[in-house]
Amino acid sequence: MELKSTEKREWTNAGYEGAERAILRLTREGGRTSIVRLKKGARGPRHKHNAGEDALVLSGKVSIGGFVMSAGDYLYTEAGEEHDLIALEDSVIYASTARAPTILE
Q: In Å, how far are 7, 9, 48, 50, 99 from 3, measured between CA atoms? A: 11, 10, 30, 27, 22
Coil/strand/helix, residue 78: coil
Starting from the edge strand earliest in sequence, which strands make up the sheet with 19-26, in order? 12-13, 19-26, 30-38, 91-99, 53-59, 74-77
Q: According to the model, what pLDDT value does residue 91 have?
A: 98
* Tens-digit pLDDT profile for residues 76-93: 999 999 999 999 999 999
pTM higher than 0.75: yes
* Tens-digit pLDDT profile for residues 20-47: 999 999 999 999 999 999 999 999 999 9
